[in-house]
Amino acid sequence: MASYKENRTARIRLVSSHNEVYEPCDDSFALVDALLADRTNLLEHCPTMCMEIGCGSGYVITSLALILGRERGGVNYIATDINPNAVKVTRETLDAHGVDAELILTDIASGLENRLAGLVDVMVVNPPYVPTPEDEVGAEGIISSWAGGENGRRVIDRILPVADHLLSEKGWLYMVTLTANNPSEICLQMRKKGYASKIIIQRSTEEESLHIIKFWRDFDTTVDEVTDQSLIGFLGSLLAQIPLFSLWRGSNSNDNC
Amino acid sequence: MRLLTHNMLSSNIKGVEKGFPLRIEAEKVVEKPVEMNADFLRKMFEKVEWKAFLEASRSMGYAQLPEEVDSGMLESDEFLSRFHHALLELHLEEGALVCPETGRRFPVNKGIPNMLLHEDEV
């Protein structure tokens, strides 16, 4: 497993760093592990346009490019961050692994909403999800990488409609959430926009309980069909998934840490 | 920054109607060869706004693209290789993107466009 993983994800010693940029940590590893776990599906998905919102150190977008395969041309990667140091560090991390992505210094996807709408086949997001005082949200530097305001939802709730807007018809979104963010409520909110969801990884660390959720458009569901009854059934099925994936818990012996 | 990315970017300043295409001020253009993928080019051909792309390629010093295009041209290897070169291999390394409506300059440094807005622009 270790060598398999090493060949297909960014190597920690090659990930660049800066004191104002969030370093890969449990949440980043969980997101990349979710992508690895879903690798067969990702390869079959044949994405053309992949995007990361909030690329930080570049660990995740680099890993996504490696998972999809350096040898496979025909995939364009875009990564954004609001922190000028983060996009610089991401460039170094990509270069160190011999992969490439287009980097844009911007707030979420500002400037891309019009022309990139409906084009993104795979989106990955490790948002600032930590519950913090409101005034820390969007502060300069490294704080912007974690400060999520009330329930850690301030930035997540801005990202979700943007993701919905940018994703293609076959688009997938992988997002990190914390129990405090109320992931079931996030899934319900996306359900109303027509998305199905699945927890790919649920992992408890000393400090937090992380869920990596995958969203995809479910054309069998229209807004009208989302009744209270179906929501209850949906919640039940969501909760039922958790034990299935609890095998991942504790198996997080990260060689990288 | 590739011209593909340029074709996906608009001015995001409050009050701007279309904000597209951003005018390119090129100070430094670099070429980074990548392998050509015809399927990718065919998909992107549908999405690219040609006039903006043509103008952008000229401002980057590349004048080998036709004025008018149709999907039949995708059968031509010569066209594909020019399209590929302009779309993916030419990079704006240093310069600026200029909002067509306000003239606001978005700097591009080390190939990364800075689309961050000032408080009074949001």
**Residue A77 is part of a domain; what is its CATH number?**
3.40.50.150
- Chosen for mutation from A104, A119, A121, A165 (greatest number of chain B CBs closer than 10 Å) is A104
Residue A204, pLDDT score: 92
The model's confidence at residue A256, banded by pLDDT at 50, 70 and 90, is very low
pLDDT at A186 over 90: yes
Token pair listed for B119: 């408080």
Cis peptide before B21 (omega within 30 of 0): yes
By the CB < 8 Å criterion, does A111 face chain B? yes
Residue A254 lies in a domain: no
For residue B90, what are the β-bridge partners? B31
Q: Residue A48 is nearest to which of B1, B34, B40, comparing CB atoms?
A: B40
Q: Where are the beta strands (DSSP E) in chain B?
A: 23-31, 90-98, 105-109, 112-113
Q: Residue B2 is nearest to which of A84, A91, A102, comparing CB atoms?
A: A102
Residue A253 lies in a domain: no
Those residues whose C-beta lies under 8 Å from the C-beta of residue A21, and which sit 6 or more positions away, are A56, A57, A83, A85, A86, A89, A142, A145
Asked if A245 contacts A18 with a C-beta cutoff of 8 angstroms, the reply is no
Those residues whose C-beta lies under 8 Å from the C-beta of residue B118, and which sit 6 or more positions away, are none
Residue A246, pLDDT score: 40
Q: What is the pLDDT of residues B30-58, one digit of tens each?
A: 999 999 999 999 999 999 999 999 999 99
Contact A119 B8 (CB under 8 A): yes
Q: Residue A48 is nearest to which of B19, B43, B114, comparing CB atoms?
A: B43
Q: What is the pLDDT of residues A42-86, one digit of tens each?
A: 999 999 999 999 999 999 999 999 999 866 678 999 999 999 999
Residue A123, phi then psi, degrees to nearest 5: -125, 135
Q: Residue A115 is nearest to which of B7, B37, B112, comparing CB atoms?
A: B7
* Residue whose tokens read 């909403």: A113
Residue A35 lies in a domain: yes
Instruction: Say whether the ipTM exceeds 0.85.
Output: yes
Q: Is A7 exposed, middle or buried (0-12, 13-18, 19+ CB in 10 A)?
A: exposed
Residue A62 lies in a domain: yes
Residue A236 lies in a domain: yes
Contact B112 A111 (CB under 8 A): no
Domain count, chain A: 1
Question: Which residue segments constitute the domains of chain B, with CATH numbers given?
Answer: 3-121 (2.20.25.10)
Those residues whose C-beta lies under 8 Å from the C-beta of residue B47, and which sit 6 or more positions away, are A119, B7
The model's confidence at residue A140, banded by pLDDT at 50, 70 and 90, is confident
d(CA A227, CA A70): 44
Closest B-chain CA to A101:
B1
Residue A257 lies in a domain: no
CA A175 distance to own-chain centroid:
3
Q: What is the pLDDT of residues B50-106, one digit of tens each?
A: 999 999 999 999 999 999 999 999 999 999 999 999 999 999 999 999 999 999 999
Closest A-chain CA to B37:
A74
By the CB < 8 Å criterion, does A8 face chain B? no
Contact B39 A74 (CB under 8 A): yes
